Amino acid sequence: MAVSISRKRSKSSRKIKAKQSYFGFSILYNFLSRISGLAFLIILIYMWSSFSTIITGNIIHVCFSTRKLNSLYCLSAGTHPSFEIPTSTNNNSTSITTPALDQGNNATEPLTFPATPDVVINSRISNNDIRDEEVANAVKVVEEQLQVHRSWRSDKKYATCDGQGIYVYDLPSKFHKDLVGQCRDMVPWKDFCRYFSNEGFGEPIPKLGKGWYQTHQYSLELIFHSRVLKHPCRVHNENHAKLFYVPFYGGLDALRWHFKNVSNDVKDSLSLELVKWLERQAPWKRNLGKDHVFVLGKISWDFRRTSESPWGTRLLELDKMQNPIKLLIERQPWHVNDIGIPHPTNFHPHSDHDIISWQLKIIRSNRKNLVSFAGGARANADDKIRSILIDQCTSVEDGTKCHFLNCGAVKCDGAESIIELFVESEFCLQPPGDSPTRKSVFDSLISGCIPVLFDPFTAYYQYPWHLPEDHDKYSVFVDKKEVREKNVNVVERLSNVSSRERENMRRYIVYELLPGLVYGDYNAEIDKFQDAFSVTMNNLLQRASRVNAAYQD
């Protein structure tokens, strides 16, 4: 027998509720009336200024929305998921879990390491007294994967199509062009339209010369797409392809939601729609996406959202996205299909002559500063390494020994001041920001300024196709643990590097590395050199040939 329960409330209960509501309102009114208008205004301003902290949840580095937005990269890298370190490159899902060591509470739960590599190796591991062999194992996995990446390198100067080339999917415009159209509303306080013009290069910078543009570091997706459409190995018949390029601007998709109060379902909607679209395509079905490539213009962590933080999308955590190759400005170091390629710089040469002219200019430059650092202190950073470096730099009495460009006091988002400083400096300090990699590393390299790195994940474990395995050829490494513990004065150590050593490193950077670190313009006619795009494409095609050969066997 069904029982019907009436939803009507009695008059007496409604009266009680009304009295309670009135009583609560009276307390609130009395409280507010006791606070001066000025104090209440201060509270409102504080809440507004902390908004990005509220929406980012439990994070390692916090960037406030009132902070001067010199680099959106530091904001987008603010949160990182937790995961477990894999023990083998053979299976991306394999992971290592270790019993939690005795921390005074006899903990027995397995430890999971945060995904920020510098924290994994330096901060959290040392804080928890994780055994050295486990740290060494984690690094070994990274190095094994880099060797796999290097094995795909092509030794040919020009792309080898071998009768098969690259097919570019004709995706609906909502996956790319329409996202660019939202450039004015990506974030509330910055207009990206000026950066996304000229096929992603941005507005020209006449002061720096031909080929220089106000390129934003998030423009990689636009730049790469434009170049692929004109690649000599491009084919228009999918049956003639060995490599399939998916022109999805996932970085812009993620960026547009970073500072908006929307649900996770909204953030992931376009990614899920893309995967469903791909699953209907015959090439995808054939190899389950193993011969597909994505180019994503943000760091890997921005596409690996977990339940612990609302930051970013889950694009790279989707099951269907594990097989394709993902090219990113910063890779997740324990995913073999994540490959790091250079951040876009502001220099986009059109011809061999443009490259040679710039090489001659910077090799002859009068480097009046021994050391320079362009950046700002991160008050909320765990290790305070930037503050220590700034103190060491500014405490030098000789002004030519170390020049500090305070990006907290001046605008550093324009290329002119940065490049001019680097061209006049022997060494450029490159401490990690909110994540290990920095666009500034590539700015210093293309300026002939020797980068000084403090974390191997900043470059050594990121770019196997564009930087050599012997990192002593182009950089100086100072362990940030030494800096943090104040066991080394970086300026003094760099003073001990002989002029001959500096000159040898600079010549290697300028003549061997520089051409392969810049992305030529969309109509580039570069024959003598391989630019960053050509290096990437040649290696992708080389890998695709090997994958296809394996399928045929």
pLDDT at 413: 66
Residue 93's pLDDT band, with cuts at 50, 70 and 90, is: very low
Using the predicted structure, report yes or no on whether residue 460 has a pLDDT greater than 80: yes
pLDDT-based confidence at residue 46 (cuts at 50, 70, 90): very low
Pairing of strands 82-83, 241-246: unpaired
pLDDT number for residue 5: 35
- Average pLDDT of span 38-65: 36
Average pLDDT over residues 150-167: 85
Label residue 160 by pLDDT band (50, 70, 90): confident
More confident residue, 63 or 201: 201
The pLDDT confidence band at residue 24, using thresholds 50, 70 and 90, is very low
Q: What is the pLDDT of residue 551?
A: 61
Q: Give the least confident one: 152-156, 271-275, 505-509.
A: 152-156
Measure Cα distances from 192 to 70, 160, 217, 227, 365 in Å.
13, 36, 11, 21, 33
Written as six digits, the tokens of 480 are 């940030």
pLDDT band at 166 (very low <50, low <70, confident <90, very high): very high
Lookup: tokens for 64: 């406030």
**Enclosing H/E stretch for 373:** strand 369-375
By residue count, the chain amounts to 553
Residue 244: which pLDDT band, with cuts at 50, 70 and 90? very high
DSSP 8-class letter at 449 = P
Band of pLDDT at residue 383, cut at 50, 70 and 90: low
Position 411 confidence tier, pLDDT thresholds 50, 70, 90: low
* 284: its two tokens: 């995808």
Strand partners, 295: 327
pLDDT score at 74: 29
Contact predicate 404/372, CB 8 Å = yes
User: Cα separation of 195 and 19, whole Å?
Assistant: 58
Q: Provide the percentage of residues in the chain whose pLDDT is more than 70.
A: 74
User: 290-322 pLDDT, tens per residue?
Assistant: 999 999 999 999 999 987 778 899 999 999 999
Q: How many C-beta neighbours within 10 Å does residue 190 have?
A: 15
Task: Determine if residue 163 is left, alpha or beta; phi over 0 gives left, psi from -120 to 50 gives alpha, anything else beta.
Answer: left
pLDDT at 138 over 90: no
Helix, strand, coil distribution of the chain in percent, nearest 5: 45, 10, 45
Record the pTM: 0.77
CA distance 300 to 279: 23
Per-residue pLDDT at 96: 28
Out of 42-56, 134-148, 353-367, 537-551, give the one with best mean pLDDT: 353-367
Which stretches does DSSP call E strand in 120-249? 165-168, 234-235, 241-246
DSSP characters over 217-274:
TT-HHHHHHHHHTT-TTEESSGGGEEEEEE---HHHHHHTTTTS---HHHHHHHHHHH
Query: Is 143 a residue whose pLDDT tops 70?
Result: yes
- Reported as a pLDDT band with limits 50, 70 and 90, residue 69 is very low
- Tokens matching residue 219: 């423009």
Q: In what order do the strands lie in the sheet with 402-406?
A: 402-406, 369-375, 425-430, 450-453, 476-477
| Integer Cα distance of 293 and 232 in angstroms | 17
The pLDDT > 90 percentage for the chain reads 60
Q: Does an H or E element contain 46, and which?
A: helix 37-49
Residue pLDDT, tens place only, 101-127? 222 332 222 223 333 333 333 333 344
pLDDT score recorded for residue 135: 76
- What SS3 class is residue 172? coil
Dist CA 491 CA 497 (whole Å): 10
- Collapsing DSSP to helix, strand or coil, 173 comes out as helix
Mean pLDDT of 50-73: 30
* Residues forming a β-bridge with 213: 204
From 52-66, 423-437, 505-519, the region with the lowest mean pLDDT: 52-66
**Helix (H/G/I), strand (E/B), else coil: 292:** strand
Strand partners for 477: 453
Render 459-508 in DSSP notation, one character per residue.
TTTT-TTTS-S-GGGT-EE--HHHHHTT---HHHHHHTS-HHHHHHHHHH
Residue 380, pLDDT score? 58
State the pLDDT at residue 352. 97
pLDDT digits (tens, 9 = 90+) for 430-456: 998 878 999 999 999 999 999 999 999
Mean pLDDT of the chain: 79
Query: Which position has the higher pLDDT, 414 or 5?
Result: 414
Residue-wise pLDDT for 246-286, tens only, equals: 999 999 999 999 888 899 999 999 999 999 999 999 999 99
Residue 372 contacts residue 429 (beta carbons within 8 Å): yes
CB 118 within 8 A of CB 437: no
What pLDDT, on a 0 to 100 scale, did the predictor assign at position 410? 63
Which secondary structure element, helix H or strand E, spans residue 287, and what is its range?
Answer: helix 282-287
Give me the residues paired with residue 241 across strands: 165
